[in-house]
Amino acid sequence: MLMSEATYEQPMGMQRAISTKPVRVIAVTSGKGGVGKTNVSVNLALAMANEGKKIMLMDADFGLANVDVLLGVQAHYNLQHVINGEQSLEDILVDGPAGIKIVPASSGTQAMAELNSSQHAGLIRAFSELNFDLDTLIIDTAAGISESVISYSRAAQEVVVVLCDEPASLTDAYALIKLLNRDYGINRFHILTNMVNSVQEGRMLFNKLVNVTDRYLDVAMDFMGAVPQDEYLRKAVQKQRAVVEAYPRSKAAMAFKKLAQKTANMPVPANAGGHLEFFVERLIMASQEIGG
């Protein structure tokens, strides 16, 4: 059960005082590691920020947290310090390029399902007390089908599955989509093909996946786009910078710009909550149902 109103001590007026503008929440995930998921999350966040959007990027890969490494920023605190009541959420945020706000991961910490009601209340209050406007929260989840991946995917409004052209990536992406669809009722997925030679190759890879999902699952699959193989992407990683910042005219950067424009034009779901505490409420509910 989600905590009772009595447990949640914050007055309703204070909850709603900050913003009633819907915040789009996007989970970026993958069936397996090594497909460039975090690079996608980072560059999509920066490309959207360059389009004038206010973006928060949450590192939710608690086992292999590396958003800060990819961007060359240093995090002194993380979400665990907020959960423990040691820091406010605003205190742990790290300023990234293009004005994005980064929520650092708390590697190796207990699962959300293990938090007690007081910690749940504190986490929701922390998100609701942020005092700046936000358009989109992008969550870089772990790879695979762990409980945290399921919880974040269920709490988000949009799920982006990153896929590359190798058999294990295709098989594991299908396994993830099948689990989220059959067991948790998620029926819409955006597929982003990464490290491909052309948009046509990316479309063919998407079609391979759709041939299987159409046969066995009741899901709507959207081809979000393709990011090409690009030597400049590797160079950007070595520099600990996003490719859209380091090499804005590279093929990869131009692809991320198109993806950002498409993402920005996605309609915000009619049932989207007002601010981020609604996302955290959904996250806690999802993780408790899995853990229970």
Task: Establish if 11 belongs to a structural domain.
Answer: no
Task: Establish if 257 belongs to a structural domain.
Answer: yes
Task: Establish if 14 belongs to a structural domain.
Answer: no
- Roughly what angle, to the nearest 10 degrees, separates helices 147-155 and 276-291? 140
The pLDDT score that the predictor gives to residue 112 is: 58
Who wins on pLDDT, 211 or 88? Answer: 211
Q: Is 20 exposed, middle or buried (0-12, 13-18, 19+ CB in 10 A)?
A: exposed
Task: Establish if 5 belongs to a structural domain.
Answer: no
User: Of 18-22, 57-61, 275-279, where does the model show the most confidence?
Assistant: 57-61
Q: Is the pLDDT of residue 4 over 60?
A: no
CA–CA distances in Å: residue 66 to residues 49, 57, 140 = 20, 12, 10
Checking DSSP bridges between strand 220-228 and strand 158-164, what pairing results, if any? unpaired
Arithmetic mean of pLDDT, 162-168: 96
**Mind listing the pLDDT tens digit for each residue in 196-245?**
999 999 999 999 999 999 999 999 999 999 999 999 999 999 999 999 99
Percent of the chain, pLDDT > 90?
59
Quote the number of domains for the chain: 1
pLDDT band at residue 81 using 50, 70 and 90 as cut-offs: confident
Task: Establish if 122 belongs to a structural domain.
Answer: yes
The pLDDT score that the predictor gives to residue 110 is: 53
The pLDDT score that the predictor gives to residue 270 is: 61
Task: Establish if 283 belongs to a structural domain.
Answer: yes
Task: Establish if 109 belongs to a structural domain.
Answer: yes
**CATH code at position 56:** 3.40.50.300
**Mind listing the pLDDT tens digit for each residue in 180-194?**
999 999 999 999 999
Q: Show the domain range for 182.
A: 24-265+275-291
The pLDDT score that the predictor gives to residue 2 is: 35
Q: Is the pLDDT of residue 7 over 60?
A: no
Phi, psi of 90 (to 5 degrees): -65, -30
**Mind listing the pLDDT tens digit for each residue in 265-281?**
887 666 555 567 778 88
Kindly report the pTM of this predicted structure.
0.88
CA–CA distances in Å: residue 240 to residues 55, 178, 236, 237 = 19, 35, 6, 5
The mean pLDDT value of the chain amounts to: 86
Task: Establish if 58 belongs to a structural domain.
Answer: yes
